[in-house]
């Protein structure tokens, strides 16, 4: 399950977001959200890498993104689909994060960063040896061009939401760029520090929406190699890559070639793994992992199954209602539909106990709300009382039927009563409103396989007179309909964060609700939500952030625009141990594919 391709690019950016209030000029090797930097100036490498990992060999991996093709090389524009991992491998940012701490980023393209006491700007000094793939230096002009492009009309609107409080980028000198902010915002120095930087020569002479198959000019370790266009892509190491000896890069980027294969669905991917067509696969299906990840290659040792624990936020994988539609505009209707979702049944019969129920937006972080609102939360919520559901002032919303108890019947009775209050009654076995319109829900997806997880929900909704129907379409049409908000309900996996901020304006802000291809799929419009997002963004200390994000989570959860699903606190990986080697230390906050692409190495390289 994925968010969307462009959202995956944004998550790559957002992993780097944090800020520090002040630092002496040209003395900051890193920037930390709360000032607790783990690695001191002059550190040699991150603890979780093998600094002696050999270079060479090839990784053949599979795209876990829900795509069956790609038709462009530009990952930033609205239309089309770019290859998996292109952004991660080809572009770099001024700062980069580590995988074993939160809210801190270290110099990559930039060797120093300075933020004045007033917090209204951030100035970066670019390394003089940083080079793009065409051999030209990375200059302040390129950083400004990147910023101006990412805030233009040709790019996903999520970037404009993310960078709304950045007034402009200024070229101070060839290697110094200064970002000016509209207001003091704890996130902004590392928000801009985390932007993927590209050359102003990329697609020169064209408007950015016409830069489609032009080879990207980034500064990353890899370039595009052999391509089976629309299917498989190989990234090859840039023999002249400038940054191998940087402390943030030591022990990473170890493969000479990385080939990414694309398969049309989960079944094809699994069969490809068993046939030896690639070396590594992450499992998202409990059934596949528990029952179908078997066969000769597992028996022979060519494949092994590994369970890797992590401390990542749970995220909020959810079914999302399109509240722009009249039938979903009454919160009681949305809540009733959610009450028919039975996680307990799925956990017992489908998930083999592997998954845990999602609850709220910030699970497994300090921002997760529980019980009744604290005094600090109430101070933020009371002025908004007339704009938010009264339930916000009670216990935190919990996922129905996810407590291990058999309470489905009681919840269906409650759902029936809520629907009746909203003007919906069962007539001849069908739930209808006063106009006689039946309540039907089309669940849009690009995979037929979702029918298994929908089955129990369909049965329960049928008891209420509601028809839930799966509409499976090819990925290109699915993405197009998603961009245009042309759906009743979809399922999306939203990545979690320990430091929520401006990105939530794209996912839940009122402005984003009316912008095509924004991240506000639910169409939520709430002045109270906008106010609480602003409270998160403008928090200057963790003591201010925690009540703000908890209050925000309560309001969104009690709005019932989403039906929470499930998550796993572990990475389930199948890989070829004869071809791949990994570091002995596992980081705490890592995504499995990023960890493998960046820090594993080829066994064959050990012999060179």
For 539-595, what is each residue's pLDDT tens digit?
Answer: 988 899 999 999 999 999 999 999 999 998 899 999 999 999 999 999 999 989 999
Do the Cβ atoms of 292 and 266 come closer than 8 Å?
no
Q: How far is CA 295 from CA 270, 274, 383, 573, in A?
A: 11, 7, 61, 16
Q: Say which residue, 231 or 440, is predicted with more confidence.
A: 440
> What are the residue ranges spanned by the domains of the chain?
5-264+570-607, 318-566
Share of the chain above pLDDT 90, in %: 73
Q: Say which residue, 524 or 16, is predicted with more confidence.
A: 524
pLDDT band, residue 27 (cuts 50/70/90) = very low
pLDDT of residue 446: 85
pLDDT > 70? residue 149: yes
Span 368-405, pLDDT tens digits: 999 999 999 999 999 999 999 999 999 999 998 877 77
Pairing assessment for the beta strands 166-173 and 176-181 based on DSSP bridges: antiparallel
pLDDT > 90? residue 241: yes
CA atoms within 13 A on the CB side of 595: 24
pLDDT band, residue 353 (cuts 50/70/90) = confident
Judge whether 5-264+570-607 and 318-566 match in fold.
no
The C-alpha angle with vertex 343 and arms to 564 and 364, in degrees rounded to 5, equals 50
Strand-pair partners of 123: 114, 178
pLDDT > 70? residue 10: no
pLDDT of residue 523: 97
Quick one: average pLDDT of 56-85? 86
Span 271-289, pLDDT tens digits: 999 999 999 999 988 889 9
Span 464-498, pLDDT tens digits: 999 999 999 988 899 899 999 999 999 999 988 88
Do the Cβ atoms of 579 and 603 come closer than 8 Å?
yes
Strand-pair partners of 28: 113
Query: In 10 A of CB 393, how many CB atoms?
Result: 16
Pairing assessment for the beta strands 489-492 and 467-472 based on DSSP bridges: unpaired
Per the structure block, which two tokens stand in for 90? 């080809």
pLDDT band, residue 606 (cuts 50/70/90) = low
pLDDT of residue 9: 45
pLDDT of residue 132: 98
Per the structure block, which two tokens stand in for 451? 């029918």
User: Which CATH architecture is the domain 318-566 placed in?
Assistant: Roll (3.10)
Quick one: average pLDDT of 29-36? 82
pLDDT of residue 462: 97
Q: How far is CA 440 from CA 212, 458, 467, 468, 522, in A?
A: 39, 11, 5, 6, 17
Distance CA(263)–CA(275), nearest Å, equals 13
pLDDT band, residue 227 (cuts 50/70/90) = very high
Span 289-303, pLDDT tens digits: 999 999 999 999 999
pLDDT > 70? residue 438: yes
| DSSP of 115-147 | --TT-SEEEEEEPTT-B-TTSPBP-HHHHHHHH
Q: How far is CA 603 from CA 232, 305, 572, 581, in A?
A: 23, 18, 21, 6
Q: How far is CA 490 from CA 52, 61, 115, 538, in A?
A: 45, 28, 42, 32
| Predicted structure pTM score | 0.81
pLDDT band, residue 605 (cuts 50/70/90) = confident
pLDDT > 80? residue 4: no
pLDDT of residue 448: 65
| DSSP of 139-166 | -HHHHHHHHHHHTSTTB-HHHHHHTTTE
pLDDT of residue 20: 31
What mean pLDDT is reported for the chain?
90
pLDDT of residue 392: 97
Q: How far is CA 87 from CA 6, 76, 216, 223, 513, in A?
A: 10, 9, 10, 11, 26
Distance CA(143)–CA(543), nearest Å, equals 34
pLDDT band, residue 25 (cuts 50/70/90) = very low
* Superfamily of domain 5-264+570-607, CATH level 4: Periplasmic binding protein-like II (3.40.190.10)
Pairing assessment for the beta strands 318-321 and 562-564 based on DSSP bridges: antiparallel
């Amino acid at each position: 399950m994925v968010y969307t391709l462009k959202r995956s690019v944004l998550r790559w950016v957002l992993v780097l977001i944090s800020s520090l209030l002040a630092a002496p000029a040209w003395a900051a090797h890193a920037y930390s959200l709360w000032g607790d930097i783990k690695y001191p100036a002059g550190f040699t490498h991150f603890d979780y890498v093998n600094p002696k990992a050999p270079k060479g060999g090839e990784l053949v991996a599979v795209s876990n993104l829900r795509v069956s093709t790609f038709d462009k090389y530009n990952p930033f524009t609205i239309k089309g689909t770019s290859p998996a991992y292109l952004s991660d491998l080809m572009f770099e940012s001024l700062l980069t994060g580590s995988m074993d701490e939160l809210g801190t980023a270290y110099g990559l393209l930039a060797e120093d960063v300075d933020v004045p006491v007033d917090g209204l700007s951030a100035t970066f000094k670019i390394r003089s040896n940083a080079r793009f793939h065409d051999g030209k230096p990375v200059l302040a002009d390129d950083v400004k061009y990147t910023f101006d492009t990412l805030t233009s009309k040709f790019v996903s609107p999520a970037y404009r939401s993310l960078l709304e409080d950045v007034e402009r980028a200024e070229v101070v000198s060839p290697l110094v760029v200064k970002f000016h902010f509209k207001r003091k915002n704890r996130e902004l120095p590392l928000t801009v520090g985390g932007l993927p930087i590209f050359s102003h020569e990329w697609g020169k002479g064209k408007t950015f929406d016409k830069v489609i198959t032009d080879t990207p000019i980034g500064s990353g370790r890899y370039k595009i190699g052999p391509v089976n266009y629309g299917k498989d892509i190989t990234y090859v190491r840039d023999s002249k890559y400038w940054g191998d000896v940087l402390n943030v890069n030591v022990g990473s980027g170890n493969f000479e070639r990385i080939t990414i294969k694309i398969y049309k669905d989960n079944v094809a991917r699994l069969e490809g793994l068993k046939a030896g067509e690639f070396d590594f696969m992450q499992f998202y299906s409990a059934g596949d992992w528990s029952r179908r990840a078997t066969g000769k290659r597992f028996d022979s040792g060519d494949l092994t199954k590994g369970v890797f624990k992590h401390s990542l936020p749970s995220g909020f994988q959810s079914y999302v209602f399109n509240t722009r539609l009249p039938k979903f505009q009454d919160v009681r209707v949305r809540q009733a539909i959610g009450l028919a979702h039975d996680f307990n049944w799925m956990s017992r019969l489908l998930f083999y106990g592997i998954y845990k129920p999602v609850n709220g937006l910030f699970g497994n972080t300090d921002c997760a709300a529980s019980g009744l609102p604290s005094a600090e939360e109430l101070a933020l919520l009371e002025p908004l009382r007339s704009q938010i559901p009264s339930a916000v002032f009670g216990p935190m919303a919990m996922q129905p039927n996810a407590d291990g108890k058999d309470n489905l019947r009681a919840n269906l009775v409650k759902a029936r009563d809520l629907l009746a209050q909203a003007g919906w009654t069962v007539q001849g076995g069908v739930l209808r409103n006063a106009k006689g319109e039946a309540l039907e829900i089309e669940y849009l997806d690009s995979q037929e396989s979702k029918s298994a997880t929908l089955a129990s929900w369909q049965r329960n909704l049928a008891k209420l007179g509601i028809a839930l129907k799966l509409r499976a379409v090819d990925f290109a049409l699915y993405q197009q309909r998603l961009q245009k908000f042309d759906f009743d309900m979809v399922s999306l996996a939203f990545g979690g964060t320990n430091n929520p901020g401006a990105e939530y304006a794209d996912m839940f802000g009122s402005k984003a609700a009316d912008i095509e291809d924004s991240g506000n799929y639910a169409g939520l419009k709430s002045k109270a939500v906008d106010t609480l997002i602003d409270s998160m963004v403008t928090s200057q200390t963790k003591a201010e952030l925690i009540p703000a994000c908890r209050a925000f989570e309560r309001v969104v959860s009690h709005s019932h625009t989403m039906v929470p699903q499930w998550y796993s606190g572990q990475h389930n990986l199948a890989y070829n141990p004869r071809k791949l080697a990994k570091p002995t230390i596992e980081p705490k906050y890592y995504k499995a594919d990023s960890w493998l692409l960046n820090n594993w190495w080829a066994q064959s390289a050990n012999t060179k």
